[in-house]
A = this chain, B = another copy of it.
Amino acid sequence: MTDLGVTAKELDADDELGALRSRFVLDETIYLDGNSLGALPVTVADRIDDVVGREWGTLRVRAWHESGWWAAPERVGDRIAPLVGAAPGQVVVGDSTSVNLFKALVAAVRMAVDDKDAEGGPYEIVVDATAFPTDGYMAESVARMTGCLLRPMEPDRVPEALTDRTAAVLLNHVDYRTGQLHDLPLLTAAVHDAGAYVVWDLCHSAGVVPVGLDEYGVDLAVGCTYKYLNGGPGSPAYLYVRRGVQDRFDSPLPGWNSHAQPFGMTAGYEPAAGVSRGRVGTPDILSLLALEAAMEVWDGVPLDAVRAKSLALTDFFLACVAAYVPDGVVEPLTPAAHAERGSQVALLCADADRVMRRLIEAGVVGDVRSPDVLRFGFAPLYVSFADAERAARLLAQNLP
């Protein structure tokens, strides 16, 4: 065993989260793609079997109330809330991240235009130019539909782009490509100083990085649940609406599920109180309840320990890569500073596609962001230090 192999063994022995691994269905594969699709929690299969066979199969339509299907979007939202630093009643689950981005950004613009009405437009939407593509596409669509101008901007330069014309700012908490963590408290404060509203995309941070939505006064946030929240392929996303702006949340997608009296079936729209007005149509129950079952893996897990292990894993992986891979063959894109790092390591690497194919054959699953970025996600609940060491070793053996 190499020295780093010994170190990995020691780190795993000391890992207070090590036992959580048994909460997931795992095999000999080293799975470093939990930032794309989280591993299957052991609680999900039985729960879904019951939802399909007993609830749908025998209760049928009665299950909407008797099995709590109707209230699941808010109930599962409250289950996610602690992971993003939100008090109950501010997170609702449903739709895709993309659709929630649309809702949040339109709502943000409408609040800002309402505030700034006297000044007259046109107003601006500032969007993180390095964001996951959907964010940029949606921001463009929202700009077009609300008569705003669109200003794509590097996150670090957002403060200097803010003016009294800025209505809304859409930012990614962790960059999906590089794994860089952006400064949510600082950027949120800057947006507020400009009298604008901020929407944070938490897809790559919730579950691995402390978020603190309430603490920093974030207005709106969205995130997916199939990465570090392990909700399953395409599980529904969530929308956070800060309590203080819920009464002003004016959704562009006013479906019957967000109506004050959804079963009144009245012709006039009247939005529900609270975060329920972020709902749209009939919630996707199988996926939503799979997610709810998956959330049990967080029972009793201290989030500060998750963050500490995430940083220790990525530190250790970077050290192993530095030790095993000859200089100059790969280059970390992920910041070395802890304050700027999410829970993934991105390596610039020639021929990244072929390298990843070989790695996968060798039993290490990461992914590639074209054309030349290898991504390795470290889900602290089920990835071990031994995984990190072995992945780096196999990477070194499978380079071009």
Contacts and interface: CB of A to CB of B under 8 A. Distances in A.
B61 A269 contact: no
A375 to B, nearest CB: 11
A33 interface: yes
Number of copies: 2
Contacts of A259: 133, 137
Interface string A14-37: 000000000001010101010011
A129 interface: yes
A58 B27 CA distance: 8
Given A96-B282, A259-B133, A56 B265 contact: no
Contacts of A132: 256, 265
Contacts of A25: 53, 57-58
Given A61-B36, A64-B233, A152 B267 contact: yes
A34 B243 CA distance: 38
Contacts of A172: none
Given A137-B256, A267-B133, A284-B287, A60 B31 contact: yes
A264 interface: yes
A266 interface: yes
Interface in A128-152: 129, 132-134, 136-138, 140-141, 145-146, 152
A61 B141 contact: no
Contact of A256 (B33, B69, B134, B263): B134
Contact of A96 (B36, B44, B95, B140): B95
A109 to B, nearest CB: 11
A400 interface: no
A255 B137 contact: yes
A140 B370 contact: no
A285 interface: yes
Contacts of A29: 60
B57 A40 contact: yes
A254 interface: yes
Given A95-B96, A233-B64, A255 B138 contact: yes
B266 A133 contact: yes
Contact of A286 (B48, B224, B369, B370): B48
A378 interface: no
A290 interface: yes
A33 B56 contact: no
B232 A365 contact: no
A153 interface: no
A169 B34 CA distance: 44
A355 interface: no
A64 B37 CA distance: 10
A306 interface: no
13 contacts: A37-B64, A44-B52, A48-B48, A96-B281, A98-B280, A99-B280, A132-B265, A133-B256, A138-B255, A140-B254, A234-B285, A237-B281, A265-B370
